[in-house]
């Protein structure tokens, strides 16, 4: 069932375009198509991409102990010394 407010909006839209020349109505149709396809669909696609992004997160799985992981992190760090000339 269509909500009454939706019917009112559709009726208002029809009243607005009533009496316009056909080329103007075609321009309005192109705008509506643009909004529908390029904006609304892209927003939906963006929402789906964000959902996929969040679903990609999970708990960390590793057989090593926390101490082993920390040791590996420290061992992988490299220190560089830079000479400064003033």
User: Which DSSP category does 36 fall into?
Assistant: I
Are the beta carbons of 54 and 48 closer than 8 angstroms? no
Q: What are phi and psi of 2, to 5 degrees?
A: -85, 135
The pLDDT value recorded for residue 3 is 61
Q: If you average pLDDT over every residue of the chain, what do you get?
A: 84
Residue 1 pLDDT exceeds 60: no
- Condensed to tens digits (0 to 9), the pLDDT of residues 40-64 reads 888 888 888 888 888 888 777 788 9
Q: How crowded is the C-beta side of 19, counted as CA atoms within 13 Å?
A: 2
Which whole number is the average pLDDT over 3-26?
88
Distance CA 68, CA 86 (A): 42
The pLDDT value recorded for residue 2 is 53
Which whole number is the average pLDDT over 24-51?
87
Grade residue 19 by pLDDT with cuts at 50, 70 and 90: very high
Q: Where are the domains of the chain?
A: 1-56
């Amino acid at each position: 069932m269509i909500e009454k407010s939706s019917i009112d909006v559709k009726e208002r839209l029809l009243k607005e375009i009533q009496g316009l020349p056909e080329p103007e109505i075609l321009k309005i149709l192109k705008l509506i198509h643009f909004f529908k396809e390029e904006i609304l669909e892209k927003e939906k696609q963006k929402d789906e991409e964000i959902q996929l992004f969040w679903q990609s997160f999970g708990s960390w799985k590793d057989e090593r102990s926390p101490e082993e992981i920390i040791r590996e992190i420290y061992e992988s760090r490299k220190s560089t010394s830079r000479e400064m000339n003033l």
